[in-house]
Amino acid sequence: MSSPDSQDRVSEIQIYLVDLSQDEPYLGALREGEAVNEAGYFVRKGNRTVYPRKNRSLVVKIVTRDGVTGWGETYGLVAPLATAAIISDLLTGFVVGRDPNEVEAIHDDLYDLMRVRGYTGGFYLDALAAIDIALWDVVGKIQNLPLYEILGSPRRSLIPAYVSGLPRPTLAGRLELAREWQSLGFNAFKFALPVADEGALAELSALRLTLGDDARIAVDLHWSLTEDAAVQLAADLQPFDPWFLEAPVPTEEIGTLRRVVQRTAACIAVGEEWRTHFDARLRLERLACHIVQPEMGHTGITQFLRIARLAETYRISVIPHATIGSGIFLAASLHAGAVLTEVESHEFQHSIFGAFRHFTGDALRCEAGAYSLPDGPGLGVEPSDAMLARMTRMLP
Ligand code: MG
């Protein structure tokens, strides 16, 4: 066994903003009454949520004294300077000099730093997620093994994927897009209520007719309903066999969520906004959902696995969420998903996956309805030249 002094140590954390801008904003073209403000943001009327006109992501690079490089990523969509400042001003000083193999201890130590001030979520935990993913990447590279070999016992080499979002301005266009994906071997889909202009019932019934009885079709309700409205909508949708209803009521209303679960026959999915297993426990111990959807960009690998393992103890399904990113946290999500007991499906952001592949090369593949696992050491993905050209260094 090597002495502590021979262990490699973190020497530097670099922070980058990645420009992921595309022709159209996320969820498709702006609807009537939606306008981009001077800061480059707009609000979707359907869910009162702010989005940037130009997608972007926050990436960190951790370098060790021995020259091992690890990549991590978190949300950079909104106010990315806030997360960058947390990493640069606060966290870097407590990570540099640590042994990267202590990744879980580092995560918990950083979490403890701000607990008494109430920073148990939000931008603070996003910053921790980016560091956590980068440290795990370093650990994998030190061991020269893909992360799915290190995080647990790999149970699968393919992870089923569902096509998320149908960003076309008309229902006819959305049906056509769904059919195109079905012809490519995908038979699970999710549409979002804020851009289902004719309403969830019209959207689901039309998709069901188009895609057939075997297709799985989920509905993302974006936390927009009251308890009674959610119960009514679930009853209205039932004849068209929705796969799951996502985020029916505001995230703060855990009691309401539980009552929706109790009052409907529908399968309820939540969790993309959670950061930690503490967030998960509040819902899981109340049996307030049927599916949890951890989002790697918010949780990092350490918390993603804690959330998923907690869900497993309640026999609650895990269907990982996948948001807008450069492909780094998507790769982390696939590695973590590979070691869970069961992963029914994983979100596939097809509208930005072209950019993932552009940025990370062929290491990330999602074909014929399933992701394959990146198999290089660590995350198995590295920024391509195209991604490096779109990365801007932030803060010292
Ligand atoms: Mg969602």
Mean pLDDT of the chain: 94
**Residue 328 CA to ligand 1 centre (angstroms):** 20
Radius of gyration (C-alpha) of the chain in whole angstroms: 20
**Domain containing residue 213: CATH number:** 3.20.20.120
CA distances from 270 to 182, 231, 243 (A): 25, 16, 13
Residue 251, phi then psi, degrees to nearest 5 = -60, -30
* 256 and 366 share one domain: yes
Distance 146 CA to ligand 1 centre (A): 29
Residues 135 and 172 in one domain: no
How many domains is the chain partitioned into structurally? 2
Quick one: average pLDDT of 25-53?
Answer: 87
Say if CB 356 and CB 327 are below 8 A apart. yes
Both 161 and 128 in one domain: the answer is: no
Say if residue 212 is in the same domain as residue 236: yes
CA of 110 from ligand 1 middle (Å) equals: 28
Give the model confidence (pLDDT) of 136-163 as tens digits: 999 999 999 999 999 999 999 999 999 9
- Are 58 and 17 in contact by the 8 Å Cβ rule? The answer is yes
Residue 390 domain-assigned (yes or no): no
Residue 351 has pLDDT above 70, yes or no: yes
Distance 193 CA to ligand 1 centre (A): 10
CA 272 to ligand 1 center in whole angstroms: 6
List the alpha helices (DSSP H) in 19-79: none
DSSP string, 253-312: -HHHHHHHHHH-SS-EEE-TT--SHHHHHHHHTTT--SEE--BHHHHHHHHHHHHHHHHH
Q: Are residues 220 and 107 in the same domain?
A: no
Which of 61-70, 199-208, 260-269, 380-389 bottoms out in mean pLDDT, i.e. has the lowest? 380-389
- Taking the CA atoms of residue 170, residue 175, residue 176 and residue 182 in that order, the dihedral angle to the nearest 10 degrees is 150
Give the residue, 53 or 348, on which the prediction is more confident.
348
Residue 141 makes CB contacts below 8 A (sequence gap 6+) with 68, 69, 70, 377, 378
Q: What is the pLDDT of residue 68?
A: 98
Q: Ligand 1 mean position to 138 CA, how many Å?
A: 30
Estimate to the nearest angstrom the gap between the alpha carbon of 330 and the chain centroid.
7
Q: For residue 330, how far is its CA from the centre of ligand 1 (angstroms)?
A: 16
Give the distance (Å) from ligand 1 centre to CA of residue 247.
7
Interatomic CA distance for residues 386 and 308, integer angstroms: 33
User: What is the residue range of 114's domain?
Assistant: 10-149
Rounded to the nearest angstrom, the distance between the alpha carbon of 89 and the centre of ligand 1 is 31
pLDDT band at 23; cut points 50, 70, 90: low
Q: How far is the CA of 222 from the centre of ligand 1 (A)?
A: 6
* Ramachandran sector of residue 9 (left: φ over 0; alpha: ψ -120 to 50; beta: rest): beta
pLDDT tens column, 283-303: 999 999 999 999 999 999 999
Q: Whole-angstrom Cα distance, residue 20 to residue 272?
A: 21
**Which pLDDT does position 5 carry in this prediction?**
59
Residue 190 Cα to ligand 1 middle (Å) = 9
Asked if pLDDT for residue 55 goes beyond 50, the answer is yes
* Residue 173 counted as domain residue: yes
Is the pLDDT at 2 greater than 50? The verdict is no
Q: Is residue 386 part of a domain?
A: no
Tokens for 248, please give them. 């029916």
**Strand locations in the chain, DSSP E?**
10-19, 41-44, 49-52, 56-64, 69-75, 158-164, 188-192, 216-220, 245-246, 268-270, 291-292, 317-318, 346-348, 365-367, 370-372, 391-394
Give the separation between CA 242 and CA 347, rounded to whole angstroms. 16
Asked if residue 83 is part of any domain, the answer here is: yes
In-domain check, residue 109: yes
362-366: long-range contacts, CB 8 A cutoff, minimum separation 24: 363/331, 364/327, 364/330, 364/331, 364/334, 366/161
Q: Residues near 99 by Cβ (< 8 Å), separated by ≥ 6?
A: 4, 7, 8, 9
Residue 31 or 97, more confident: 97
Q: What pLDDT, on a 0 to 100 scale, did the predictor assign at position 4?
A: 53
> Domain of 118: which CATH number?
3.30.390.10
**Are the beta carbons of 70 and 248 closer than 8 angstroms?**
no
pLDDT band at 1 (very low <50, low <70, confident <90, very high): very low
Ligand 1 center–CA 9 separation, angstroms:
38
Tally of residues, the chain:
396
**What's the CA-to-centroid distance between 219 and ligand 1, angstroms?**
9
Of 182-186, 205-209, 297-301, 383-387, the one with minimum mean pLDDT is 383-387
pTM of this prediction? 0.96
Please report, rounded to a whole number, the percentage of residues in the chain having pLDDT higher than 70. 97
